[in-house]
Amino acid sequence: MVCPLSVNTLPVVMAFLAVWCSGKAARPKTDMAGFTPDNMNFECGMQPIPVERIVGGTPVQPGTFPWQVSVRRNGYGICGGAIISPTEIITAAHCVSSVSAERYQILAGATDFRNLKNSTQVRRVSEILIHPKYAGLIAVRYDVALLRLDGALDFVGSKGLVAPICLPRRSYQVKGDVIITGWGRTKEGGNTSKVLNAVTVPVMSDTMCRLYLSRRLVTILFAPYDGSSMFCAGRFQGGVDSCQGDSGGPAVQTVDGRATLVGIVSWGFGCARMMSPGVYAEVAKFMDFIDDHSVLKGSVEARRSTTVRPTIIPEGLQIHLPANLTLLKPLLENDEADYISPDQLPNNRL
């Protein structure tokens, strides 16, 4: 039964509606925050600095790849990731599947760790959403995860230094070259970089990728190449590749004039070796997962947990360590991973 408005309450209700409709009513801001119209409607894939063709690993200028983030565990940089919304980062599942969410942070708007600017934005990870079919490093399939942040990134206030990347259509096929960015090792066995680097790498056909990777028994046993959810990129002679510490970072192409996330750095053997392409999770194949779990779109409630299952690593099998039967691993805290203490950070919330 609908209760009719009384004569006494009607003027109050009408006055409230008049203020509300005029746009003058005070509307509470949630901390889910940053979900202002400007921030949520911020255009993806826009680069304030034009990107030329980059070959061989080149340091980049601030704002060239504003979607790039450093994924950090207890202050140590272990992986990369890409911004897809004010409160969401996409990365590789193997980067974040070993400890609980509260131990992770992200740095956005940074390019040079030696000289962090006030434009650097720091956020804690509040939730980790791993693809339900990810099974750890036994078979590196479905290597994708979403990180929910404890507060929204400020796109508008960053003046182009922090911005989201576009996502591909489900039908998109990766061909041509991809641009890979990260702070990983600049050569196999070398040190991680303090400066964000970019490299252009040609995409390899599934046939050639299977041919090269099948030369290694460990690929057949533990990490068979799956062309339905992965793609390879590299050169026959080697020389350019992602490396340890680049895991989870973006592989990008320009689609309809916008920078688009087409791949996530996942695994490979060594770094830039001859006939050893890098393997990337193909983002278009995971759009159902992203739509279902992201604030960007989708209505299916995510399976959320701040604690994730441990990763099982078979003896002798690691993700991107040199010289061994290597798949591509995140840097360890006792490795030469870059460390930034809270007092080194700009006056930005952590």
Check 119, 131, 143, 293 and give the catalytic one.
143
Tokens of 337: 């991973």
Separation between Cα atoms, residue 303 and residue 128, nearest integer Å: 10
Radius of gyration of the chain from Cα atoms?
Answer: 22
Q: Does residue 61 form part of some domain?
A: yes
Q: How confident is the model at residue 125 (pLDDT cuts 50, 70, 90)?
A: very high
Percent of the chain residues past pLDDT 90, beyond the cut:
31
Lowest mean pLDDT among 167-176, 219-228, 229-238: 219-228
Q: Does residue 46 form part of some domain?
A: yes
What are the φ and ψ backbone dihedral angles of 12, each rounded to 5 degrees?
-65, -45
Checking if the pLDDT of 35 tops 60, the result is no
Question: 3-state DSSP call for residue 348?
Answer: coil
Q: Does residue 24 form part of some domain?
A: no
Domain span holding position 216: 40-332
**pTM assigned to the model:** 0.74
Tokens of 290: 């992203």
Separation between Cα atoms, residue 191 and residue 183, nearest integer Å: 10
Strands 250-255 vs 317-319: parallel, antiparallel or unpaired: unpaired
Q: What is the pLDDT of residues 245-272, one digit of tens each?
A: 478 999 999 998 899 999 999 877 655 4
- Please report, for the domain that includes residue 317, its CATH number: 2.40.10.10
Residue 65 exposed, middle or buried by CB count within 10 Å (0-12, 13-18, 19+): buried
State the Cα angle at 102 between 75 and 108, rounded to 5°.
50
Number of domains in the chain: 1
Separation between Cα atoms, residue 193 and residue 107, nearest integer Å: 15
Quote the pLDDT of residue 191.
57
Check 70, 193, 229, 247 and give the catalytic one.
247
Q: Does residue 3 form part of some domain?
A: no
Query: CA end-to-end span of the chain, whole Å?
Result: 50
94 is catalytic: yes
Check 70, 85, 94, 97 and give the catalytic one.
94
The answer to whether 67 and 163 have CB atoms below 8 angstroms apart is yes
Quote the pLDDT of residue 339.
64
Dihedral sign for Cα atoms in the order 126, 267, 169, 256: positive
Q: Does residue 33 form part of some domain?
A: no
The mean pLDDT of 8-34, rounded to a whole number, is 39
